[in-house]
Structure 1
Amino acid sequence: MVFTGVFTIFLTFIEGHTYDFQQVLPPFVIATSCFIFTLNLVYQEFNTGSNKLIGDTYYSEEKYKEACDRYNKIEKHVNNRFYKTIFPPSDTFLSNLYMAYGDSKFRLSEKEEALTLLNKSLEYAERGRLTSYQWQIHYKIGQIKEEEGKLEEAYNDYKKSIDIIEDLRGLVKIAERREAFFENKADVYVKMVFLCLRLGKDEEAFNYAERAKGRVFLELLGTEKVKVKARPELKEEEKKLLRKIRAIEAKLREGRGAGERYIRELGEVMEEYDSLLLKIKEDDPEYYSLRKVDPLTINEVQGFLKENEVLLEFFVGERPVAFIIHKDSFSVVEIPMDKEELVDKTSELRARIKMITGVKRVSNEIYNGLIKPLEPMLNGKELIIVPHGILHYLPFNALHDGKEWFVEKYKARFMQNASMLRFLREKGKAKIETAFVVGNPTKDLEFAEIEAKKVADKFNVKPLLRDEARKEVVVEGSKGKDILHFSCHGMFEAGFPRFSRLMLADDNLLVAEVYNLDLNADVVTLSACETGLGGLTNGDEIEGLTRAFMRAGTPSVIASLWSVDDESTSELFLRYYDGRGDKVERLRKAQIETMKEYAHPFYWAGFVMFGEG
């Protein structure tokens, strides 16, 4: 376009002054110079964009020196007075540039220059009200200040970062979106927890630890349940996808060829179904009711504890720590195991349990590192354990102190965070009158069927066995019952935890569907495989059947941490229902009795009480 304009001017002068080149030439030279100058600016703009793209690529690949070289070239261009006048860069562009440039300098240990660049980034982010950048910049500045030993300044920056995150989080109204929102922000809370401990702000450290784990689940418990209403066309699409899932699963069960293709197809359809569920929720304005629930303070937690209870909350960050809360005291203990060792040993223990091979060596090593330092503060108390990270998968009852198993020493139940106490304590029932029992819907669990009949006899009810345990009947029959007992197959889907399920006679009862059940049960017993497992997010959210049943209306769920044995499980639960005491004590005694017949932890340590005891 510029060239066309210049050429037009030239022709105009030629036509008007055919032979007077002295008059024609100067305007032509001026126009040509303007054209070349403009072309140079356009080239600089293009060059700036390409350098930014290349610099960001180097940054994402952790090639920080190369990234800095590119960002330095961009900075020179954007600070050019003529360039700034003609192509003024946006606050978003400049804040993003200086943030990546500053962080690259920090990772190259050039801290002073990094701080200068990050403060420039913050200036543009604040001017443009770019809160999604502000929390990141404060976090990065905080890291530099902490490394320089300026701990109070680092604390202030981490706090500003978290305050912004909390404000942004409150704007996200759907549970799944809040989980996704937190995925790249958990590290700020981890840094803050350990900085607070360094500064002696132990109570604040606990508060930030609580904010970093299971917040969405806490808010689900604290929000009035709203049944999602889907438009007919979305409901039909949901049915179609569920039919697809069942058809592919049937092919996989039948062992037809092209297994890998079917697994890939199943993953694709599950992902599509996951997206549809979000679309249904977002389509229903009434669903936008997820309220913000603040975690409990230490004093508030102590108000919910009984005299004989101690809350043991773990936090696995830079290193594992334990917050120990009694009715009248609070302390923090650093665990003498590093994170990597804890992960490796937990994985080894689970593997050995599943193979039914020797476990006492690794079990004892974990006990000595994780529990032994805490023993003086735990003995004689009933434990409420709040795991974190890998510890959600650790079978605590299978730990061994060299003389006896953990379950023989301690009465323990588990929660996703301490703040759940305020909601679960309100839901427990003093009197149990009704029960609903499901047994062997798939017709291949002989002892599960025997178990279901005997459990039903104890409550004088008729169990749903085999073909009777159809999904529609189960959903309707479970309403209003005090006890729900499922003796059936369970399956955990690691990649798509909302598709973890109980297998019924005609269909699967998915996690996504359990959320919508209307329950008022005192306890749900899942005498099935892997029902206590869940998909773990960076926000320490455990998505699975346990969480779904608690959201559906029960304060207590008994579930398993691995694929369990049919016969020993049946015996364990018959002992549980014959026992005396509260739910946790009855489960504990049943496990101790079962280990006399089945010595290996595989047969008795897998079941855990989640929630209220």
Structure 2
Amino acid sequence: MDAETPDQLAAAFAQDEDAGFALFRDLFFAALERRRLAECRDLLAALCRRDAARLRQECRYHQAILHVEQGALDPAERLLRDLLAEQPPPAPPLQARALLELGYVLDELSQWDEAERLYHAALARYQQNGDPLGQAKARNNLGVLARFRVEQRDVPPERRSDHLRTALAHHQAALALAQAAGDPWEAAKSFHGQGMAHSLLHDPAAAEAAFQEHIARCQALDNSGDQAISLYDLAAHVYLPQGRRQAAHAALAQAIPRLQQAGDDLSLAEALTHLGNLHAAQDNPAQAQAAYAQAVGRAESLRARVTTPTARAGTRALLDAVYTAPLTHHLQQGDAAAAFNAGERARARTLSELLSSPDIRPRSAVAPGLLAQRAALRARLEQAYAADPPPAEPAELAAAALADLERRIELADPALAGLTALAPLTVDQVQARLPAHAALLSYVGDADDRLWGVVVTRHDVQAQPIPTPSIQWLRAYLADHIDGSRRGILTPAPGVPYLEPPRQLFPPLYRTLLAPFEPWLAGAQTVYLVPHGPLHYLPIGALTPDLAAPPPLLAAGRRLVYAPSATVLLDYCHTRPPSSRRGILAVAPQDDQLRLTQGAARRLAEQGQTRHGRSAALLGQAATRRALLDQAGGYAALCFLGHGLFDPTYPMASRLQLADGPLLAGDILAGLRLDADLVALAACETGRSQVLRGDEILGLTRALLYAGAPSLLVTLWRVHEAPTRLLVERFFATLDPAAPDPAAALAAAQGRLRALTVAEARAAMTAWDELSPAAVETQIAQLWQMTRRDRPLQDDAPLFAHPFFWSPYILVGDRPPGG
């Protein structure tokens, strides 16, 4: 910035506030487009010294923009959310700009639905304000988002073309609007968007023409940073697929130095990844790996700038190709050990970093005003949930408002600034820490949307491809069985009392997902499963080649444990010291829809008192949120029996229903501290999570691991009350107080439930005080008809053989056997 510029700006402000601000905007964005960030900071300092309320708001908005340019997304998000929440609200022009910028931030953090909503809200404001340039920016952003969701396979295959044509329409509209506004910068951006959409529509000629037009316009504007982006996208999406490797190399050779000079780490990471792909295509593995290593280094630098857990987890999708490219390269090269290391580096990193920071206490230093707003919103939401019938729209609006406020609280929470980067475990470290007679099967996805399995034992590492199905197809297929049109096979369909046997589900998936790894798993007493993507929703260990036979991984004497990553399992769960407490706290709130939970909790507490010398039950109206949070830390095990609900829209609002209202996953993360060996959640969907890119899981599992539980018994779908009680009672009865082994106890309980005959179930249920003999017979008949329809009841036939009854229970995390 010229020495006289600050004086000119100060004079402009002194003469006329509007003229001064207009000059500031021109200078700020000219510097920003050319990545002269120090100049931007100096200009901001001049703006922020102004006293006018409007200019103080503009100061915060422009600070957010600068944070975005530097990759610091969480402070940018905090500034923008706080600005939009101000009363009175910002003036309409600033409100439109803030909505657009917040949409961009959330777009970068993979919160695509909310980003799209904000983009449309900004577009509507710009239309009301008669601002064609603002409309052009919103249209360009909507086009980029539509195309990016296709790239990230967030769109079903049959809708890809429609999404891409929508993206083209947005960019073409943006071009017309920008030209009408006389803004060559925004007009130029539309051509890059068109190039990307055409390339994904497999129209390389149109894509090349659009990229070249963008490059020429950027050159005329002296915009070398954006020019470099089109150069590397031209190389990756046109030249390389056409085999024009020399042209691709020349384009990347121009782009990379410009991005280095601009300090644009995200674009540089992408360009270096494309360079690695080019070297890999030319069969230069060493050069490919060197480029990938540089790209990952830039990505790690970006991650380190984002300190809040939600933001750090969200950036993983933005960097997906950067982490997936070296993994794919190692798999194709047959280097299983390097592939495992690359996969672990890309998996559940934020969760492992959160678990390695046990001293962080969320909300411990948040402004009381925000917490008071949260309490008021919680009360509104609970009133909406308690209404009969619940009003869908008010509950939805209150849930959205609460989620927004929770995010503002997280961004304002100084405790979360302590989240530091953590190096994931390498394959050598995993092998050294694996227990004897154990194998770890880690699923990963490559750049072609194909699953692989990597098996690690103490002395071997092997990788095998799973040629079909694709990850995207499997995600839709499993979702259809659990929540969609295929219900009635694995889970009940609404209004349909029958379940068909999953003959076309479990045996084929066993042959696909487990059979290729039998040679390495056969001799393992303990099998650790690390799912990937949609496999988080599937009880992989329950898969079997024959529905009439026990699943191989749950055979007698075997232990089966799931984990978000090898690092979470071995660096957190296995290193947690044994609980200094004794006994079980069993919690069963009052619930008119559940008849058996309080009796089960009472029995668990009585058995625990006998076996451990100390146990208790929180029953009925005594089972409140405060009582659970206050008392759970005093026991070695916690068992909740009641209603659970997974919230797919706001996963940290997934909840357990207590007597006085819902206990959210976010409440557990902030307020529960355990000294426990085990938590069992005998309720619906307690093991379901939203799975972000990089296998970051959001939900009750994440919250309870952070609360201090190294081992969780949870469920993957809605479960039936009677078999759940039978399984939980058997599970806790099997646990040895002197050497508790939840994995062995769960396998035994599942095997017992699966084989339990009608006569044996009748005998067990007759002992329950809540059921009369007639009620027992009614329950038995209903359970029988769920899978046998109108066949006559047979006392010697298994009642719960269908996987719906016994397979959704999984154990996440454990301690080493005998540890």
- The root-mean-square deviation of aligned C-alpha atoms, in Å, is 2.5
Q: Does residue 372 of the first structure (1) align with residue 515 of the second (2)?
A: yes
Q: Does residue 405 of the first structure (1) align with residue 535 of the second (2)?
A: no
Equivalent positions of 1:155-304 (< 5 A) are: 155-227=289-361, 228=363, 229-251=365-387, 253-256=388-391, 259=392, 261-262=393-394, 264-281=396-413, 284=414, 286-304=415-433
- Counterpart pick for 2:661 among 507, 512, 523: 507
Structure 1 distance, partners of 2:632, 2:537, is 29
Q: 1:485 to 1:550 in 2, by over 3 A?
A: same
Q: SS at the partner of 1:599?
A: coil
Q: 1:203 to 1:568 in 2, by over 3 A?
A: same
Structure 2 distance, partners of 1:563, 1:191, is 37
Q: 1:441 to 1:92 in 2, by over 3 A?
A: farther
Q: 1:526 to 1:46 in 2, by over 3 A?
A: same
CA contact under 8 A between 1:441 and 1:503: conserved in structure 2? no
Q: Does residue 491 of the first structure (1) align with residue 637 of the second (2)?
A: no
Question: What is aligned with 2:500?
Answer: 357
Question: What is aligned with 2:634?
Answer: 480
Q: SS at the partner of 2:490?
A: helix
Q: Does residue 92 of the first structure (1) align with residue 225 of the second (2)?
A: yes
List per-residue Cα deviations over 1:508-529 (Å, max 9, x = no partner). 1111111121111110010111
Structure 1 distance, partners of 2:678, 2:250, is 57
Question: What is aligned with 2:616?
Answer: 462
- Counterpart pick for 2:463 among 329, 332, 355: 332
Question: What is aligned with 1:27?
Answer: none
Structure 2 distance, partners of 1:570, 1:156, is 55
Match of 1:190, as an amino acid?
T
CA contact under 8 A between 2:191 and 2:211: conserved in structure 1? yes
CA contact under 8 A between 2:299 and 2:322: conserved in structure 1? no
Q: 1:439 to 1:204 in 2, by over 3 A?
A: same
Once the two structures are TM-superposed, the CA of residue 276 in structure 1 deviates from its matched residue by 2.4
Question: What is aligned with 2:773?
Answer: none
Question: What is aligned with 2:71?
Answer: none
Q: 1:467 to 1:130 in 2, by over 3 A?
A: same
Once the two structures are TM-superposed, the CA of residue 71 in structure 1 deviates from its matched residue by 4.2
Q: SS at the partner of 1:311?
A: strand
Question: What is aligned with 2:209?
Answer: 69
Match of 1:586, as an amino acid?
A
Q: Does residue 605 of the first structure (1) align with residue 807 of the second (2)?
A: yes
Q: 1:434 to 1:198 in 2, by over 3 A?
A: same
Question: What is aligned with 1:106?
Answer: 239
Please list every run of at least 4 consecutive aligned residues from structure 1 whose deviation after the TM superposition is greater than 6 angstroms: none
CA contact under 8 A between 1:55 and 1:66: conserved in structure 2? no
Match of 1:69, as an amino acid?
A
Once the two structures are TM-superposed, the CA of residue 216 in structure 1 deviates from its matched residue by 0.7
> 5+ unaligned residues in a row in structure 1: which ranges?
1-42
List per-residue Cα deviations over 1:446-470 (Å, max 9, x = no partner). 1111111111111223311111111
Structure 1 distance, partners of 2:217, 2:629, is 65
CA contact under 8 A between 1:238 and 1:276: conserved in structure 2? no
Structure 2 distance, partners of 1:67, 1:369, is 38
Match of 1:303, as an amino acid?
A
Match of 1:412, as an amino acid?
L
CA contact under 8 A between 2:589 and 2:657: conserved in structure 1? no
Q: SS at the partner of 2:291?
A: helix
Match of 2:600, as an amino acid?
E
- Counterpart pick for 1:561 among 710, 713, 716: 716
Q: 1:149 to 1:168 in 2, by over 3 A?
A: same
CA contact under 8 A between 1:345 and 1:362: conserved in structure 2? no
Once the two structures are TM-superposed, the CA of residue 164 in structure 1 deviates from its matched residue by 0.9
- Counterpart pick for 1:320 among 431, 445, 451: 451
CA contact under 8 A between 1:490 and 1:503: conserved in structure 2? yes
Once the two structures are TM-superposed, the CA of residue 432 in structure 1 deviates from its matched residue by 6.1
Q: SS at the partner of 1:485?
A: strand
Match of 1:571, as an amino acid?
L
CA contact under 8 A between 2:374 and 2:402: conserved in structure 1? no
Match of 2:424, as an amino acid?
P
Moved more, 502-511 or 143-152: 143-152
Question: What is aligned with 2:280?
Answer: 146
CA contact under 8 A between 2:191 and 2:214: conserved in structure 1? no
Once the two structures are TM-superposed, the CA of residue 76 in structure 1 deviates from its matched residue by 4.3
Q: SS at the partner of 2:590?
A: coil
Q: SS at the partner of 1:69?
A: helix
Q: SS at the partner of 2:714?
A: strand
Q: SS at the partner of 2:428?
A: helix
Structure 2 distance, partners of 1:211, 1:61, is 30
Question: What is aligned with 2:567?
Answer: 419
Q: 1:520 to 1:580 in 2, by over 3 A?
A: closer
Q: 1:234 to 1:255 in 2, by over 3 A?
A: closer
Q: 1:102 to 1:552 in 2, by over 3 A?
A: same
Q: Does residue 452 of the first structure (1) align with residue 583 of the second (2)?
A: no
Moved more, 458-467 or 499-508: 458-467
Q: Does residue 127 of the first structure (1) align with residue 261 of the second (2)?
A: yes
Q: Does residue 389 of the first structure (1) align with residue 543 of the second (2)?
A: no
Match of 1:136, as an amino acid?
E
Structure 1 distance, partners of 2:476, 2:552, is 20
CA contact under 8 A between 1:428 and 1:612: conserved in structure 2? no
Q: Does residue 551 of the first structure (1) align with residue 706 of the second (2)?
A: yes
Once the two structures are TM-superposed, the CA of residue 50 in structure 1 deviates from its matched residue by 5.4
Aligned residues: 556
Q: SS at the partner of 1:183?
A: helix
Structure 2 distance, partners of 1:93, 1:369, is 44
Structure 1 distance, partners of 2:215, 2:522, is 62
Q: 1:298 to 1:397 in 2, by over 3 A?
A: closer
Q: SS at the partner of 2:695?
A: coil
Moved more, 507-516 or 457-466: 457-466
Structure 1 distance, partners of 2:659, 2:196, is 50
CA contact under 8 A between 2:677 and 2:709: conserved in structure 1? yes
> 5+ unaligned residues in a row in structure 2: which ranges?
1-178, 493-498, 610-614, 757-799
Structure 1 distance, partners of 2:267, 2:306, is 17
Q: Does residue 434 of the first structure (1) align with residue 583 of the second (2)?
A: yes
List per-residue Cα deviations over 1:1-30 (Å, max 9, x = no partner). xxxxxxxxxxxxxxxxxxxxxxxxxxxxxx
Match of 2:729, as an amino acid?
L
Once the two structures are TM-superposed, the CA of residue 159 in structure 1 deviates from its matched residue by 1.8
Once the two structures are TM-superposed, the CA of residue 556 in structure 1 deviates from its matched residue by 0.6
Question: What is aligned with 1:3?
Answer: none
Q: 1:92 to 1:247 in 2, by over 3 A?
A: farther
Structure 2 distance, partners of 1:384, 1:267, is 36
- Counterpart pick for 1:591 among 750, 761, 769: 750
List per-residue Cα deviations over 1:19-69 (Å, max 9, x = no partner). xxxxxxxxxxxxxxxxxxxxxxxx9x9685354133033135335644543
Once the two structures are TM-superposed, the CA of residue 577 in structure 1 deviates from its matched residue by 1.1
TM-score (norm 2): 0.64
Structure ranking higher on relative contact order (CA contacts 8 Å, 6+ apart): 1
